[in-house]
Amino acid sequence: MGDTIAVEKISVDCKQHLRAINDTQDLLSGKWKVMIIGCLALGKKRYMELQRMVEGIGSKMLSKELQELEINGLITRTVQDTKPITVEYELTEYGRTLKPIIDAMALWGVQHRKKIITAK
């Protein structure tokens, strides 16, 4: 009986664990979000800068994913009153809490590439 309770508890914990992973993944869904955040982790960036940094991204996808990130409170969008206007994107404090994830992914990617190359 005690065992059953223990097993159920583990099972519940596991579900929550997986749900948490899923939540995170959802917020970072899309082909470019993680890279965009990776860019913004280096500091505030303008629309054009982002498009240049994130190689291959189109204007449509860039604005779409930026909007989603903004909606989720991960970045801010600030219009500069210049001529013509410029827009700056920046990670919010909350967005910065994603840094451990991004860093872990970047680090793993670097090691992985090393591994693949030496394996050849």
Partner DNA sequence: CAGCATCCCTTAAGATACTG
Partner DNA sequence: CAGTATCTTAAGGGATGCTG
Helix axes 33-40, 99-119, angle to 10 degrees: 110
Among 44, 46, 64, 112, binds a copy of itself (CB under 8 A): 112
Which residues are registered as beta bridge partners of 86? 80
Among 5, 42, 85, 117, binds a copy of itself (CB under 8 A): 42
Residue whose structure tokens are 């809490």: 97
Among 23, 48, 78, 80, binds a copy of itself (CB under 8 A): 23
Residue closer to a copy of itself (CB basis): 38 or 81? 38
The 10 Å CB-count burial string (b at 16+, else e) for 57-91 is beeebbeebbebbeeeebbbeeeeeeeeeebebeb
Count of residues that interact with a copy of itself, criterion CB under 8 A: 38
Contact between 75 and a copy of itself by CB under 8 A: the answer reads no
| Under 8 Å between Cβ of 40 and 90 | yes
Residue closer to DNA (CB basis): 58 or 109? 58
Among 6, 12, 46, 109, binds a copy of itself (CB under 8 A): 109
Residue from 22, 24, 47, 38 nearest 91 by CA: 38
Q: Return residues touching a copy of itself (CB under 8 A).
A: 14-25, 27, 34-35, 38-39, 42, 53-55, 94, 97-98, 100-102, 104-113, 115
